Structure 1
Amino acid sequence: MSIRDWPAAERPREKLLEQGAAALTDAELLAIFLRTGVVGQSAVDLARHLLQDFGSLRALLEADQASFSLRLGLGPAKFAQLQAVLEMGRRHLAEGLKRDSALESPQAVRDYLKARLRHEPHEVFACLFLDAKHRVLAFEALFHGSIDSASVYPRQVVKRALAHNAAALILTHNHPSGVAEPSQADRQLTRRLTDALALVDVRVLDHFIVGDGEPLSMMESGWV
């Protein structure tokens, strides 16, 4: 049966307009993105098949082009559309951060950092540069690979802070394992960077570690 033959209240698009996007299942949201199904499968059937194939909505959203385009009903055009949607979401979160002080919007900071770093397959170290009122000036990913005190160079972090004329910053990096618990190396790195930045009057407000759940604040844990 075609989706057009379903009761209006059960059609994903009509259901979204009537009840809001939060009321839809993962498959229904994906079906709206797909727009059409394939022979023998409605868009919702195809969406359910894809979610089962990838294992989760997150895995589908984070798939690279090669693995994404192998699936029935998907291809380069859909991959490009999906990347555009994801980037719009990240930019939306960034705009929200820029309006207010980062310290007044701790959840907005967490949401933004999670959107930027959680999908990365390797460790990425980044900084959120802030002005004197703790409003966001810029976000930069500075180092990639295994993040420890030897692979992150304080000189480069200081250089970028001065380039942005930052008064403060928030450090962040991801743990691809999904476990956000800080290691001893994470704590040592935070101390090194805090000391180096203090020499140029730039304050480290926090160091967030991004894993599968909510990003962990080292400040709230007493390590900053």
Structure 2
Amino acid sequence: MPVKDLPADARPREKLLARGPGALSDVELLALLLRTGLPGRGVLQLAQELLDSFDGVAGLLHATAEDLKRIKGLGGSAKRAELVAVLELSRRALAQRLRERQVFDDPQAVGDYLQLHFAPRAYEVFAVLFLDAQHRLIAMDEMFRGTLSQTSVYPREVVVRALQHQAAAVVLAHNHPSGQVQPSRADQSLTQTLKAALALVDVRVLDHVIVAPGQSLSMAQQGMV
């Protein structure tokens, strides 16, 4: 049913203004962003089909502009740009939270932040979150990129970057494009190598987080750091 044919109090925009965003379903919130549907396919139907295509909100947040381009009704640039903008705002909001408080006050925010950055990548990315003495985020740098199965990480470059940022601690992070977050022996070995190298310049490795679409794993919580 087209939105205009719904009762006034059931239309997403009016419902949001009257009852707040929490009263809206995922489909209704997405429909507000999309604004219009297609001939013979209302905006609510388009929103539902989009969520189904990406297995819900989490999958949609991990979608790239190219992923969205393949969806009928999103071939134009305007709707895709708006959705990608929402994703970028989410990244920036999480980054701001990490800069304003100790990282380990909100470990879920760390996992969410890293997933938004790296979970959808088809190749492996190794990044480092550089932290100050209060464990607040100074910067996150993508250090190395690899193939689906491996990436080459050079400890010397991580140490140099830590000194440039005047970091007191770091959180290591990388993604597993395979979808599994269980650390490999290579992941564990790399963590210990970087921990030893950074200790020489008095920088602590607090954690190594592995992310995949919809999940993340803290090696510190597993007793591996």
TM-score (norm 2): 0.89
How much does 1:215 deviate?
1.8
Deviates more, 1:30-39 or 1:12-21: 12-21
Residue in 2 that maps onto 1:205: 206
Which consecutive unaligned segments of at least 5 residues does structure 2 have?
none
CA offsets, 1:157-196, max 9 Å, x none? 0011011000110001111122111000000000000000
- Is contact 1:124-1:141 (8 Å) kept? yes
Alignment root-mean-square deviation, CA:
2.3
Given that 2:63 and 2:120 are in contact with CA atoms closer than 8 Å, whether structure 1 keeps it comes out as no
Contact kept, 8 Å, 1:149 with 1:185, in 2: the verdict is no
Q: Distance in 2 between matches of 1:90 and 1:172?
A: 16
Distance 2:78 2:22 in 1: 26
Q: SS of 2:98's equivalent?
A: helix
SS at 2:220 equivalent: coil
- Deviations for 1:126-147, whole angstroms, at most 9, x for unmatched residues? 0110111111110111111148
Cα 1:58/1:150, change in 2 over 3 Å: closer
Q: Counterpart of 2:13? A: 13
| Contact 1:130–1:167 (CA under 8 A) maintained in structure 2 | yes
Q: TM-score, normalised by structure 1?
A: 0.89
Q: Is the 8 A contact 2:65 2:84 kept in 1?
A: no
- Aligned-residue offset at 1:54: 5.0
8 Å Cα contact 2:124/2:148 also seen in 1: yes
Pair 81,166 (structure 1): closer, same or farther in 2 beyond 3 Å: same
Question: Within 2, Cα distance between the matches of 1:37 and 1:135?
Answer: 43
Aligned counterparts of 2:23 and 2:67: Cα–Cα separation in 1: 29
Q: Which residue of 1 aligns with 2:30?
A: 30
**Shift in Å at residue 70 of structure 1?**
3.9
In 1: Cα distance, 2:148 partner to 2:138 partner = 24
1:188 has 2:186 as partner: no
Tell me how many residue pairs correspond in the alignment: 224
